[in-house]
């Protein structure tokens, strides 16, 4: 069974309170037991995150000093190009000291690894944001 990759670097996009989408990078430095440590970078500064990972539910909950995030992991394998796509997406709540404190939003983050072994069958199509974050992660957009 595939799990959340660690360490890993993800492309991320988020919006809150109807504001435009913000692009950046999300790093998972370690997953120890169910504890997750890493960082998010939306505007050139690494912001630490910490949270929990529920392997059975494929659920990630994490906090930064400015927002709380909750998301679900999906895995899509593309056997034709031997790539495993990891997609985390969910909701967020901005918190003080953010100027958007109290506003809700959504986020999506993606990363890819080389597919080894048997592909995981899936009938799902990735959300549109998955393509944008993959481009970001590969240097196609400026964070």
Q: Provide the domain limits for residue 81.
A: 8-137
Q: How far apart are CA 74 and CA 120, in angstroms?
A: 11
pLDDT at 127: 57
Residue 33 located in a structural domain: yes
The verdict on residue 94 lying in a domain is: yes
Residue 143 lies in a domain: no
Q: Is residue 142 part of a domain?
A: no
- CATH number, domain with residue 34: 2.40.128
Helices (H), the chain: 128-137
- Please give the model's pTM, rounded to 2 decimal places: 0.82
Summarised one tens digit per residue, pLDDT across range 103-130 is 999 999 999 888 887 777 666 656 555 5
Give me the mean pLDDT over the 41-54 stretch: 93
Average pLDDT over all residues of the chain:
85
Number of domains in the chain: 1
The average pLDDT across 63-81 equals 91
Report if residue 45 sits inside a domain.
Answer: yes
Q: Supply 113's token pair.
A: 């690894």
Residue 121 lies in a domain: yes
Question: Is residue 34 in a domain?
Answer: yes
Q: What local confidence, expressed as pLDDT, does residue 83 receive? A: 84
What are the tens digits of pLDDT across the range 5-31? Answer: 999 999 999 999 887 778 899 999 999
In-domain check, residue 1 = no
Q: In angstroms, how far is CA 53 from the centroid of its own chain?
A: 12
């Amino acid at each position: 069974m595939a799990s959340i990759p660690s360490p890993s670097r993800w492309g991320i996009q988020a919006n809150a309170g109807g504001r435009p989408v913000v692009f950046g990078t999300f790093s998972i430095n370690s997953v120890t037991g169910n504890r997750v440590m890493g960082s998010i970078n939306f505007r050139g500064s690494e912001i630490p995150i910490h949270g929990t990972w529920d392997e059975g539910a494929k659920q990630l909950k994490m906090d930064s000093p400015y927002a709380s995030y909750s998301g679900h992991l999906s895995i899509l394998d593309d056997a034709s190009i031997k790539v495993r796509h990891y997609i985390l997406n969910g909701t967020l709540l901005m918190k003080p000291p953010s100027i958007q404190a109290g506003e809700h939003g959504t986020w999506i983050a993606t990363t890819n690894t080389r597919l080894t072994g048997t592909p995981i069958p899936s009938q799902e199509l990735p959300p549109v944001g998955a393509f944008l974050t993959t481009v970001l992660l590969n240097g196609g957009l400026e964070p």
